[in-house]
Homo-oligomer: A and B are copies of this chain.
Amino acid sequence: MTRPYVVTNVTIIDAVRIIPEGFIKVKDKKIVAVGEGMPPPEDGWDRIDGQKKTLMPGLVNTHGHTPMTLLRGISDDLPLERWLNEKIWPAEAALGDESAAAGTALAIVEMIRSGTTCFADMYHLNWEGTAVLTEESGMKASLARGMIAFGSKQAQREKLKTAIDYAKSCQTSTSGRLRGAIFPHAPYTCPLEFLRDAKAKAEEAFLPFHIHIAETRKEVNEHEAKHGLPPVAHLLEEGILTEGSLAVHAVHISDSEITGLKENGVHVSHNPQSNLKLGSGIAPLPQLLNQHIPVSLGTDSAASNNTLDLFDEMRQAAMVHKGLQEEANATDAQTIVKMATVNGANTLGFSGAGLIAEGYDADFIFINSDQAHMIPRINYGTLVYSASGRDVTDVFVEGKPLMRDGRLLTVDEEKIRHEAMDTSARLFAGR
């Protein structure tokens, strides 16, 4: 696919418009034209027939921990604290860099298959390996070395230094498909001094700052008891959450904290399935959207979801508030598509991606819309309420195909599946 090409006969949907029958032209990694009907033939261009397909932007997953894909299903139906203390942390203690890589590779297969072209990842093992695997796969990612700062000051300093170095190296990757971020785990796992230091170092290096925050009621109550303010209000006051920072989860937040997020230009990664499944709660999505806060979608890890399928995440994000508020228009499908595409791309620092528009990166997917469960009409609702990641047939990033007709082109899927099974069997027999 080094020649330019045109995709024809295809339904095009992005966050701003639907073209029932249109085309896009792709050249030098970019979408160079989008239109209705059939374009005039052009010499030297290849042609991809999109008949019976729907073309949409690749999905963007703004929160996850790819190595934990190996822990999928190890601990269902347990509350967050027991989930962490009894199951996840003991299991993680058995992971090393190599097994973490097996999990990341599996996550990459699952993400490409389900139409994700760009993801955020944070983990405390094998972070450099994750960059390599991502580059090889052809995906885009915002990557961070995980930091839980319970150790000595010296250990904390070293952790932060490697995190900064790693993030910088991602920012300057030769492919240009990586970004780096500074991601201290959470206010309850990192002392305030560490968060201040991490924020200062991130600013010095022009690196974005991500943090899990206000995930559970317990976290919020304990933070408030200790610091006199709930965590979001506190980190806003401290200047730790600032313009472009990413607040992950933000489940238990007050109206005044929502206003604070808005006034300070903070982004939110909404992870509804993980929040529900762990019993953490239900984030105030409609209120965040009403304030025009840039909210995107994350799956969190497959250990608390249990998939990395952003179509499932879209459906859940759209569904729950309708029932909760007893208002069917509490959320709308078009806004949800925006969250899963262009909002996510902007949040992760890929501002030229997430729309099917001239000048945007050619990050797009095909969905097979000629299936019983999507008939008889294609609209935003089809993507949010009917489609699944399993309906994705083709995935392109910067014009390059990562999957065609259900076949992965940049990774050895069968080998990756076997390694994941073997690694899991070896480390977690009986779990």
Query: Which residues of A252-302 are within 8 A (CB) of B?
Result: 272-273, 275-282, 302
Query: Which residues of A200-224 are within 8 A (CB) of B?
Result: 216-217
The oligomer's copy count stands at 2
Proximity bits, A331-373, B CB within 8 Å = 1, else 0: 1110000000000000000000000000000000000001111
A139 interface contact, C-beta 8 A: no
A394 interface contact, C-beta 8 A: no
Instruction: Check B322–A382 contact: CB distance below 8 A.
Output: no
CB distance from A326 to the nearest CB of B (A): 5
Instruction: Check B73–A386 contact: CB distance below 8 A.
Output: yes
Which residues of B lie under 8 Å from residue A328 when comparing CB positions?
77-80, 83, 277-279
Instruction: Check A77–B279 contact: CB distance below 8 A.
Output: no
A26-34, A36-44, A141-149, A308-316: which lies at the interface: A308-316
Which residues of B lie under 8 Å from residue A322 when comparing CB positions?
77, 276-279
Distance, CA A375 to CA B388, complexed state (A) = 18
Distance, CA A80 to CA B423, complexed state (A) = 49
Instruction: Check A417–B370 contact: CB distance below 8 A.
Output: yes
- Which of A78, A328, A389 has most chain B Cβ within 10 Å? A328
Proximity bits, A91-134, B CB within 8 Å = 1, else 0: 00000000000000010011001100000000000000000000
Instruction: Check B389–A73 contact: CB distance below 8 A.
Output: no
Classify chain A's interface size: 35 or more
Instruction: Check A307–B373 contact: CB distance below 8 A.
Output: yes
Which residues of B lie under 8 Å from residue A373 when comparing CB positions?
110, 113-114, 302, 307-309, 389
A327 interface contact, C-beta 8 A: yes
Instruction: Check A73–B390 contact: CB distance below 8 A.
Output: no
Proximity bits, A372-386, B CB within 8 Å = 1, else 0: 110111111110111
Proximity bits, A57-95, B CB within 8 Å = 1, else 0: 000000000000010111011111001000000000000
**Known interface pairs A114-B373, A376-B425, A413-B372; A279-B327 also in contact (CB < 8 Å):** yes
A329 interface contact, C-beta 8 A: yes
A18 interface contact, C-beta 8 A: no
Proximity bits, A399-431, B CB within 8 Å = 1, else 0: 000000000000001001100110111000000
Residues of A with Cβ closer than 8 Å to B?
70, 72-74, 76-80, 83, 106, 109-110, 113-114, 216-217, 272-273, 275-282, 302, 305-309, 312, 315-316, 319-320, 322-333, 370-373, 375-382, 384-386, 388-391, 413, 416-417, 420-421, 423-425
